[in-house]
Structure 1
Amino acid sequence: MELWNRIGRLSCVVVVWSLVGCSQHSGALSTAAKNMQPPSVVLATPLQVTYQNELALARLGQLLASNDLNNDQRAALFYERGMMFDKVGLRTMARIDFSRALREKPDFAEAYNFIGVYLTQQQDFDNAYDAFDSALELAPGYDYAYLNRGIALYYAHRPELALKDMEVFQQRKPEDPYRTLWLFLTSAQLDQNKAMQTLMQQYASHHNDEWGWNIVEVYTGKQAPAEFIRRIADSTSSNRQLAEHLCEAYFYLAKLSQLQGNTDAADAYFKLSLANNVYDFIEHRYALLELQLANQAPNSYPAELDFEAE
């Protein structure tokens, strides 16, 4: 109950800030009101497209204009530019380049994986499964295709199948806290109590100094959410790292709020996760999808961008 209360208080920060702004135009405040302080929320400067990003995109474009490339080289350059487009949030351009990479090299497992991610965000789950299946047929050891197919199954409300993929993903590197978190979120769709017991066992067996285990501590009640957020600034050495940690932290706090039935807090946390502009993190991708699902406004792509393997 204390954990739920702390999350509820923290999620109201946007409302509190708006009230503070409006109070400047109201009448005299009481002494108690003047002494009130809003709950603390850590914010980073949202990441921006850098000169290096723009220069890299320009150079890749110049290289792709060359007539001296073979199919594999052209596929690699399309893939690299697609990753750069994805990093700066130009996802339609990225998806076009990943599709071009597949046309040049039909056995490009990593490109299939990215296409599957975009199809998941579009809620085109059947084609997303096909893309991830293709990636895994070409590269059975490609861990992240298991994660992303599991996420697609998770959002398609097929938790039994999703759990199988998440178990494979987590077992291949159990010391990774994010694999443990996704396994928990998936298994919680089936049995929250059992999922929590497993999460606590995995924490006891595998936790280390990696920062993400702090999120697991919040889930298991070993760390309060408000204190966790306050400590993030102290554990980061740059604005980029701060933005990345906040993107992750707010996303997983949103998912925890969902499990506790607090949809208002979840929506606020998803928006805070997006505010950092860490476009290439899965937490950013699926925070946007979560808000679309909450508002029943699925994303869409032009018909000519529908997934094609040729």
Structure 2
Amino acid sequence: MTMKYTLGLGLSLLILTLSGCQSLQPSLSNRNIPLAKPIDISYKDELLVSRLTDILYQAELTKEQKAQVYYERGVRYDALGLRTLAKLDFGKALSLYPQLVEAYNFMGMYYTLEESFIRAYDAFDAVIDLNKEHEFAYLNRGVALYYDGRASLAVDDFKTFWSHQPTDPYRAIWLYLGEHKKDPQKALNHLRTNYQEVAKEQWGHYIILALMGDISEQALLESASVNAKDNTEYAMRLCEAYFYLAKKYQFEGKGFQAEHFFKMTIAMNVHEFVEYKYAKLELKRMNRALAQ
């Protein structure tokens, strides 16, 4: 968010998933589910972490400069999937320079993933207090409210996020996810209305078509390879497609299919995508519900 279907980690994950649910196996085994090669760890990010660490310990920096370096290293840790190290760096950055808006935004997402919602709200509120035009703070606070079961407030934030750029398909999608908790049919009707403004040249519009039932799951997944410039872009698109298909199946009460696609989302290794991050939270909550 290439063109070649690679049977790698995704296939192994598919086999493991199906082996534990033999009675449900036909519901997935007969499908031709496209797979991309999972994104590899970036050696450039690893080198940048090393360079930033050298700067922290060797350069003469002001507090603000040091905070910025910690923030930049935290971003690289996040891209590498090293969430604990990233969170530590964002915390250090904020202790040195409390006006660092983007660090609050990351901290808020991490608190959401930990289901520490009060802390998440505090972090996102800090972002908005410092910069009322920070669009993604509204998205991320909306996501926290969504998972905290506060649908009406979540929809308010998703509407604000959507209103800044109605042509963005993902903004329309998150607004739909929030509204679905309140009234599924009304949410679908509103999504159809909002779809009229979505930029059709953006690949994400196919996700909306799938959520509306206008194209099949297979058509959505196959569209991910069209005009993808390389495997990385292909894997990013599949990461997104898998996540929103999982949400669709979740809405339909099809827990096994939802779980499968959340796992496929994670298998693409797109650590910095919200879809990757929240697929992990979805699976944690599903497993907790099963254990109760």
Q: Which residue of structure 1 lines up, in the alignment, with residue 73 of structure 2?
A: 81
CA–CA distance in structure 1, aligned partners of residues 247 and 122 of structure 2: 27
Q: Which residue of structure 2 lines up, in the alignment, with residue 126 of structure 1?
A: 118
CA–CA distance in structure 1, aligned partners of residues 15 and 84 of structure 2: 34
Q: Which residue of structure 2 lines up, in the alignment, with residue 236 of structure 1?
A: 228
CA–CA distance in structure 1, aligned partners of residues 18 and 108 of structure 2: 39
Deviations along 1:122-174, one digit per CA (max 9) or x if unpaired, are 00001110111011101111001100000000000000111110000000110
Q: Which residue of structure 1 lines up, in the alignment, with residue 164 of structure 2?
A: 172
- Contact 2:151-2:179 at 8 Å conserved across structures: yes
Letter of the 2:52 counterpart = L
Residues 140-179 of structure 1: matches in 2 within 5 Å?
140-179=132-171
CA–CA distance in structure 2, aligned partners of residues 153 and 54 of structure 1: 34
CA–CA distance in structure 2, aligned partners of residues 96 and 134 of structure 1: 18
Q: Which residue of structure 2 lines up, in the alignment, with residue 68 of structure 1?
A: 60
Letter of the 2:65 counterpart = Q
Deviations along 1:48-98, one digit per CA (max 9) or x if unpaired, are 212212111111111111341001111111111000000010000000000
CA–CA distance in structure 2, aligned partners of residues 252 and 131 of structure 1: 26
Partner SS, residue 225 of structure 2: helix
CA–CA distance in structure 2, aligned partners of residues 17 and 78 of structure 1: 38
- Contact 1:44-1:243 at 8 Å conserved across structures: yes
- Contact 2:37-2:268 at 8 Å conserved across structures: yes
- Contact 2:265-2:276 at 8 Å conserved across structures: yes
Among 174, 182, 191, the residue aligned to 2:174: 182
**TM-score w.r.t. length of structure 1:** 0.83
Q: Which residue of structure 2 lines up, in the alignment, with residue 279 of structure 1?
A: 271
Q: Which residue of structure 1 lines up, in the alignment, with residue 287 of structure 2?
A: 295
CA–CA distance in structure 2, aligned partners of residues 130 and 117 of structure 1: 11
- Contact 1:128-1:149 at 8 Å conserved across structures: yes
Letter of the 2:274 counterpart = I
- Contact 1:247-1:274 at 8 Å conserved across structures: yes
Stretches of 4+ aligned residues off by more than 2 angstroms: 13-19, 205-208
Letter of the 1:69 counterpart = L
How many angstroms does 1:296 deviate by? Answer: 1.2
- Contact 2:203-2:224 at 8 Å conserved across structures: no
2:55 paired with 1:39: no
Deviations along 1:6-43, one digit per CA (max 9) or x if unpaired, are xxxxxxx9469968xx9xxxxxxxxxxxxxx9421111
Distance 1:226 1:140, change over 3 A: same
Letter of the 1:278 counterpart = V
2:41 paired with 1:49: yes
Indicate the percent of aligned positions where both proteins have the same amino acid. Answer: 39
Q: Which residue of structure 2 lines up, in the alignment, with residue 90 of structure 1?
A: 82
CA–CA distance in structure 1, aligned partners of residues 16 and 44 of structure 2: 38
CA–CA distance in structure 2, aligned partners of residues 69 and 124 of structure 1: 33
CA–CA distance in structure 2, aligned partners of residues 15 and 89 of structure 1: 24
How many angstroms does 1:202 deviate by? Answer: 0.7
How many angstroms does 1:221 deviate by? Answer: 1.9
Which one has a bigger Cα radius of gyration?
A: 1
Letter of the 2:176 counterpart = F
Residues 2-41 of structure 1: matches in 2 within 5 Å?
14=14, 38-41=30-33
Gaps of 5+ in 1: 1-12, 23-36, 298-310
CA–CA distance in structure 1, aligned partners of residues 66 and 132 of structure 2: 24
Letter of the 2:69 counterpart = L
Partner SS, residue 84 of structure 2: helix
Distance 1:201 1:67, change over 3 A: same
Distance 1:74 1:228, change over 3 A: same
Partner SS, residue 36 of structure 2: coil
Letter of the 2:190 counterpart = T
Letter of the 1:211 counterpart = W
Gaps of 5+ in 2: 1-12, 23-28
- Contact 1:17-1:38 at 8 Å conserved across structures: no
How many angstroms does 1:189 deviate by? Answer: 0.3
Distance 1:67 1:230, change over 3 A: closer
Partner SS, residue 44 of structure 1: coil
Alpha-carbon RMSD across the aligned residues, in angstroms, is 1.9
